[in-house]
Amino acid sequence: MTTKVRLSIAGMMCAGCVSAVEQALQGVDGVEQAHVNLAERTALVSGEMQTEALVTAVKQAGYTAAIMQGRQADLEKEAAEQTYYQTLWRRVWVAAIPAAFLMIGDMLLHTLPPMQGAGRWFWLVMGLVTLAVLIYSGGHFFRGAWQQLRHRSSNMDTLIALGTGTAWFYSMLVLLFPSAFPSLAQHAYFEAALVVIALVNLGHALEMRARGRTTAAIKQLMQLQPLQAHVVRNGEELDLPLEEIGLEEILRVRSGETIPLDGLVLEGSSYVNEAMLTGEALPVAKAKGSLVTGGTQNGDGSFLMKVSRIGADTVLAKIIDMIRQAQSSKPAIARLADQIASVFVPIVALIALSTFFLWLWLGPEPSLSYALVTAMTVLVIACPCALGLATPIAIIAGIGKAAQNGILIRNGDALQQAAKLDIIVLDKTGTLTAGKPTLTAIYPADLYTKTSVLQLAASLEKGSEHPLGQALRTGAKAENLKDLKLKDFISLTGLGVQGNIAEQTYFLGNTRLMQQQHLNLSTWQENLKNLDTVGQTPVFLATQTEIIALFAIADALKTDSLSSVQNLKNQGLELVMLTGDRREVAEHLAAQLGISQVHAEVLPADKLAIISQLQQQGKTVAMVGDGINDAPALARADVGFAIGAGTDVAIAAADVTLIGSSLAGIERAIRISKATTKTIWQNLFFAFAYNVIGIPIAAGILYPAFGILLDPMLAGAAMALSSVTVVLNANRLARLGI
């Protein structure tokens, strides 16, 4: 029988790690599919296999795995990641403090003792201190390099271990055997090794903080489901954990509670907020025979329901699974340097080895010393610091610039992808519209005024929480209308409300309520047709004998939606609207905004499918939304934008969050993305140009013609300067005008 096992994976830092873990898992007997999620640091494995074998395979690949079952496992994983994050910062400080001591003492104060005589003991002690720091702060890089070597591969760990290890080993050789080296070559590079370790750990810590937040999407969704439910068994009501509840069980859902599982209403009625499912703000009436979904919010009523889905079969569980699958199917965070390193490292090693033998064979005496110095100089100058910093430093600078402009970017991949967007898919409710129904028009009958009917309607809604009622009350408040004395209030589920004001009974509600009261609608048909055309909701006010007013309520466009849409179109972007709302409403709004492509009456799975279809056409797609129902599509898109006023789950699933509710942030984010991408390519070009020019000089290519041989100390300085140059170039983004 095919089963699915979820693993927590510790130690993954890059796309190469993901590949190594996937290969290890796929090599286990019985595994049909292994999907590793770098953002969550988890693996989802399906097949007929032994779970212990999966853990063993991951361990043999150089990582740590644990089986995840239930919510407690997620909490433990989160705690472990927080601990590791703190460990990274400790590694940064442990390496940075002695490095700063050496660099300040050597370059600024000139107070460090010479490497000869009694001063030699100082440097030997510093060598041992550096070794201890390399073991504590850089041990994971050396272990990673060893694992890569075992698998006949190489990555950034290999470069870091090779560069820092060579710097330390060379320095110790100079201290222990000074006579074997030319006088100009007698220099220690302990500070270079320490600086590299500190900076790379810093980069990992910052990246971990950004990536780790993506797990909040799953956590927020899981928190929608209550831990317990009220189960009715043999006439008794029991509070039981959801794990103990089976199909066909009878549950009671009380006023204001979250519905625990999917099911069918047996008795009672209420309004239910289904924004989690549809993204629409208006509550949905539920009565006997209605379907209800776990995770949605019950209103004022109470009802009994029969469970129809449990566990992984619920709609909420499937949405969670869709987000996990969408996040796992994303490209791993771009690490161009890692990919090139698989070729770069062997080439550098080959050049260093060739340099050693060429100088040993053709070099002047002492040829061994010259051979060793030049080979070591090649490895020192080829230290991967600039290469490793080129991308993440630019990304960090770009993310910082975005944050200053109210744009929170989840990871570097999104920052780069936003520069290549072809299509932006926009959810309607809460994104293009305010997400809050407002009163747009009042049509009073003869002998009545707009003010009088609005005062009556608002007074009837005094005890109601319904959004349409709140729209009427907001309209009355704007006119400074006071509530009239209300008696005998009745909430008519799915229809409206009823109450008595000044000894007169009034009804306020939809068309069905008017029909139920046998009131004549014929004189209002033209108004109803007009409202339907523009996608507005009608609400009637009536006495027991006649309809006295019609109110038009709509979710209005945001004030800047039209200008923002036009600006995005001016950039050559194609715009698409998605919504769970009625087609008439969607098409009317799209026409106002000038959006030609509209998909209406869609569910979360439909949104996900539409995003996938656009991507299959070779398009780079962004999704903009604010609801829980948008979360799977936000995760699947190349770039997901969440409006800051939206739900926490949408924000957590997105790559980019706009703190404000304005769509202008999308345009700014794209400009920052393009500038950052340009900086990344500049940094990578410089890093590789530096190596292409510096390595031959370090190997002694200028010596035959000009007698110039690069001092290892200058090689170390060049290495440090290359890093500074990359950082300074990235910092230019802070001055970017947007």
Q: Is the pLDDT of residue 615 over 60?
A: yes
Within 10 A of 695 (CB to CB), how many other CB atoms are there?
A: 21
| 518, 566: one domain | no
Total tally of structural domains belonging to the chain:
5
| 257, 349: one domain | no
Euclidean distance between CA atoms 540 and 175, whole angstroms: 93
pTM: 0.54
pLDDT in the model for residue 548: 95
| 412, 373: one domain | no
DSSP 269-297: EEEEE-HHHH--SS-EEE-TT-EE-TTPE
Chain-centroid distance of CA 17 in Å reads 20
Give the domain CATH number at 13.
3.30.70.100
Q: Is-contact 225 258, C-beta < 8 A?
A: yes
How many CA within 13 A on the CB side of residue 359? Answer: 26
| 412, 338: one domain | no
| 574, 653: one domain | yes
What mean pLDDT is predicted for residues 393-414? 72
Tell whether 711 is covered by a domain: yes
Residue type, 478: A
The torsion angles phi and psi of 421, rounded to 5 degrees, stand at -65, 140
pLDDT in the model for residue 494: 74
pLDDT tens digits for range 681-728:
888 888 888 888 888 998 999 998 888 887 655 665 566 567 667 777
What integer best gives the mean pLDDT of the chain? Answer: 80
Tell whether 101 is covered by a domain: no
Euclidean distance between CA atoms 698 and 695, whole angstroms: 5
Tell whether 200 is covered by a domain: no
Q: Is-contact 25 45, C-beta < 8 A?
A: yes
Q: Is-contact 378 698, C-beta < 8 A?
A: yes
- Tell me which of 585 and 307 has the higher pLDDT: 307
pLDDT in the model for residue 279: 45
Among residues 497, 520, 554, which one ends one of the domains?
554
Domain extent for 31:
3-68
Euclidean distance between CA atoms 134 and 165, whole angstroms: 8
Q: Record the tokens describing residue 228, joined without a space.
A: 């317990």
pLDDT tens digits for range 621-679:
999 987 666 778 888 899 988 886 444 455 566 788 786 677 888 888 898 888 988 88
pLDDT bin (cut points 50, 70, 90) of residue 108 is low
| 548, 566: one domain | no
Among residues 243, 278, 313, which one ends one of the domains?
313
| 709, 568: one domain | no
Tell whether 446 is covered by a domain: yes
Among residues 313, 341, 375, which one ends one of the domains?
313
Give the domain CATH number at 451.
3.40.1110.10
pLDDT tens digits for range 56-80:
998 888 778 888 776 556 666 667 7
Tell whether 10 is covered by a domain: yes
Tell whether 719 is covered by a domain: yes
Nearest C-alpha neighbor of 5 from the set 41, 37, 31, 38: 31
Which residue is associated with the tokens 């049509």?
Answer: 443
Q: Is 427 a catalytic residue?
A: yes
Give the domain CATH number at 586.
3.40.50.1000
Tell whether 141 is covered by a domain: no
Q: Which range in 25-29, 182-186, 622-626, 729-733 is most confidently predicted, on average pLDDT?
A: 25-29
- Tell me which of 38 and 166 has the higher pLDDT: 166
- Tell me which of 499 and 433 has the higher pLDDT: 499
| 672, 717: one domain | yes
Query: Counting every residue, how long is the chain?
Result: 738
| 429, 566: one domain | yes
Give the domain CATH number at 284.
2.70.150.10
Tell whether 322 is covered by a domain: no
What mean pLDDT is predicted for residues 206-215? 50
Task: Single out the catalytic residue among 74, 157, 262, 427.
Answer: 427
Which residue is associated with the tokens 């490895």?
Answer: 379
pLDDT bin (cut points 50, 70, 90) of residue 165 is confident
Q: Record the tokens describing residue 279, joined without a space.
A: 């993204």
> Using CA atoms in the order 55, 59, 63, 66, what is the torsion angle rounded to 10 degrees?
20
| 687, 736: one domain | yes
pLDDT in the model for residue 276: 60
| 563, 634: one domain | yes
| 346, 479: one domain | no
